[in-house]
Amino acid sequence: MYKYKEVSPDKYVLSLDNHSEIVEAVSAFCKEKDIFAGSILGLGAINEATFRFLDPATKQYVDKTFSEQMEITNLTGNISQRPEDPFVPYLHIHITASRRDYTCVGGHLLSARINGACELIVENYNDAVLERYFDPETGLNLYKL
Ligand code: FE
């Protein structure tokens, strides 16, 4: 699903395999390396992606799938853990992607299928513990800092 190289202590450069799904591949890498606190940065190209929008008024998620070739102009994410699932890296990723006409769409990333390449930097904060809790006021899983 991916190739990687550790470029400095706790910092990895990843190249995800063409046609793999980004969230699945990054989750697998974090599991392999036991990364439960960290950050993700990336770019690439995709042709099928589902983004999520949280409506703050209703606290309901609205998902939308885009089936077209797009450039990932930015992918930013973080890695943490939830006390109810402490051994599963919890990924929170947002994405902006540009279309053929150079307009952009984006949102919270649910899934994205690579069509071309996807290059990422994953940083492991190592022994830091970054947990989350559900905040009923916002409907979000927030950092417990
Ligand atoms: Fe989000």
Q: Which domains does the chain have, with CATH numbers?
A: 2-144 (3.30.1330.80)
Ligand 1 centroid from CA 22, angstroms = 15
Q: Where are the alpha helices (DSSP H) in 69-142?
A: none
Checking 130-134 for CB contacts under 8 A at 24+ apart, the result is 130/36, 130/37, 130/78, 130/79, 130/80, 130/81, 131/80, 131/81, 131/82, 131/83, 132/80, 132/81, 132/82, 132/90, 133/83
Ligand 1 centroid from CA 93, angstroms = 6
Q: What CA–CA distance (Å, rounded) separates 122 from 124?
A: 7
pLDDT digits (tens, 9 = 90+) for 66-118: 999 999 999 999 999 999 998 999 999 999 999 999 999 999 999 999 999 99
Ligand 1 centroid from CA 74, angstroms = 14
Ligand 1 centroid from CA 132, angstroms = 13
pLDDT digits (tens, 9 = 90+) for 129-139: 999 999 999 98
The pTM for the full model equals: 0.95
- Residue 45: per-residue pLDDT: 98
